[in-house]
Structure 1
Amino acid sequence: MRENLVAYLDGELDEAATQKIEQTLAENSDVRGEVESLARTFEMLDELPRPEVSEEFTERTLSTIQVSGHSAADSDEPQRRRVDNRLLIAGWVVGLALSVVLGVSIGGRFSRDDSTRLVEEFPVVKDLDIYTEIGSIEYLQKLETDGVLNDNQQTQKP
């Protein structure tokens, strides 16, 4: 509220804000007292002598303002670089993810199932179900001594 009162005394408010302050002044004696106090303070400040400043002081002040203005502009640069770097990293991550997905899908089409490879390369694995039903080696030896296995081999050869 105090900032608005100072702006009111300086004539910096728009018409709507000025009317609102004037209405508050008409209704509230505390606010009127505050405005009167501020007005007296400004009048007393006007009574004080104005300091004389050298040209050098003015130049230093202006150069300091210019340097601080450049600093504010320069501070935007790292922010822009951070955003650019984040976009670059995000692009690389997306590219790598797509490469992995593409590689797995293409590689999966050309690779065969391991069990299929075992069946094709190892005849024992092909007939594993038959061998597990036999149960023991003694049973196989008995079949061989009885000549059952030799007969099967001879009938399969022609």
Structure 2
Amino acid sequence: MNERNTPNDSGILEEELVAYLDGELPDAERARIEKRLASDAACQRKLAQLQKAWDLLDMLSKAEPDAEFARSTVEMVAIQQEKEVEQLQVNAHRTKWLMFAGGGVAIAASLVAGFMLASYQLNAPERQLLQDLPVIQRVDELRYAESVDFLERLRREGLFAGEGEDAI
């Protein structure tokens, strides 16, 4: 049975062949790949290309880092850490300032709200007097009224016309 490569199958096949070359496949998967290799020439060519690349990589010399490389890397890490510490300090200072400012705003808002509430409570008697002013101004006249209904009838008939609807 000859399996054909589809565009989607090509990437998966390459991954499987790389794992096969690395010896990372379980026995069942390895047997399946070997069976495919026995019957599929395209798969054999792909494996040969990958094997060639592996062999070329093995021929490359491995570079050993020298002391200067290690020293410069450590210096770069130290510089980066210093920058991060400075940034953390700046952020901590900014956070402290924002918390202080927020507390000041909250205190100011509380003071304004307290002032407004106290002012409202202290002015309550005066507001009631202003509301009752039309009645207070006519207390002598209203004292002799028979009832509130009588006063209502007088208002409807226009007796208090020059003084507005809410005169009484």
TM-score over 0.5 (shorter chain)? no
TM bin, normalised by shorter chain, reads 0.3 to 0.5
TM-score, normalisation: structure 1 = 0.42
Structure number with the bigger relative contact order (C-alpha 8 A, sep ≥ 6) is 2
